Structure 1
Amino acid sequence: MTRLRLHPERHLVARIGWLRAAVLGANDGIVSTASLIVGVAAATPMQSDIMLAGVAGLVAGAMSMAAGEYVSVSSQSDTEQADLSRERSELSEDIAFEHDELAAIYVERGLDRELARKVAEQLMAKDALAAHARDELGISEITAARPVQAALTSAATFAVGAALPLLTVVLSPAGVLIPMVALASLGFLALLGAVGAKAGGAGAAKAMIRVTFWGALAMALTAGIGAIFGTVV
């Protein structure tokens, strides 16, 4: 008898939770800190002031990212748990109706009614709540909200991203600090866009153009504001 061999598959959608938080955190770290540094540098030549602003931006930004991600993803998690609780209650009150409801979902997806009812019956016999969570609510192990993971990932990657323009400040001569920080940061952003796209299985070129465009715009705006206020104050 021939046995069916199943090869292991690694689907990229499993990465979507931590990948989104990681890319967002690192991108914000580079853009916000580099923009802050360029803006302050345009207003004052004092490297100590520039470093102080950059370090403050790193700490404040990392904490803000962690708090924002935790609150946002916690809200998603609360909604998921409320839906699961309601579904659990409905299963205990009228399981026959829930069976019909699940079977109807499979009919809409292309199964004939008899097969759909058998599939629903067998899945619900194994784990009724999991079956309804996945196929009725769209909640699965892969897509479930993880607030702590998102918060820690965002904070850590923001700090790493913010450290890159700060390192450039340390290594750059005072006279060319602004162009060096800007060019290095755009290079970091392009690399980040390529890595994020590669990890997510998407094309690198579009991601690189997208992140460098918005990074360049942010730095140009803050440099202009720093130059204006530096001459006024």
Structure 2
Amino acid sequence: MSKAPRHGLARALSRRGVCSRKVAAEWIAAGRVSVDGRVVRDPEFPTTPETVIVVDGDARREHAPVHLLLNKPRGLVTTTSDEHGRDTVYRCFDGAELPWIAPVGRLDKASEGLLLFSNDPRWAARITDPETGPDKTYHVQVDTIPGDALLAALVEGVDADGARLRAKSARLLRSGTKNAWLEIVLGEGRNRQIRRLLSAFDISVLRLVRTAIGPITLGDLPKGAWRHLSSAEAEELF
């Protein structure tokens, strides 16, 4: 008979959808967490799924998985709190009765569009895995009219800051007299990858909108609005 999996206390709280591992470690150090009736201050204290974990007098059992899609507005930072007092993406969930949720990946302050959230760190890790995670599609307004050679160069890639930056695909959506919209698909996730890639070709980004992750698209979801993913949609991302 196989034994139940064992996890450190901080990780167990994260897996139960209570909080992040970092926050859990802070609660544990502060003496706010007890295990089977006694206070434990070791974030690596071993637990099993059956272990009774209590935070501030409330038993914390595993929440049902929650998977959300937000149409992130430009100007919000993707973090739970900001030391500079800037508005965060959590402003969009004000008043919603939700368990602890965390962003699945990131969009920088100047970027907008599809951003996933979940209380399931295992699901989130599969989505953000650089090797096996789903493709991510962006619509990008740039300050030039790219030709076929430039689009091919974006796919070929360039070495920048010690990394090879490349798009999985790049195509022209539409153009005006001075700027154009591109569709760029990334097969891997690197910090500010599109901005860094385009900057290597002296191209400035005017707007950057993530429109899809795998088969999940923004659709007609208004800016700043969010919705639950169905269980089928959550599974489609693998």
Same fold (TM over 0.5): no
Structure with the bigger percentage of strand: 2
Structure with the bigger percentage of helix: 1
Could you say which structure has the greater relative contact order, defined with CA pairs below 8 angstroms and 6 or more residues apart?
1
State TM-score, norm by structure 2: 0.22
Max Rg structure: 1
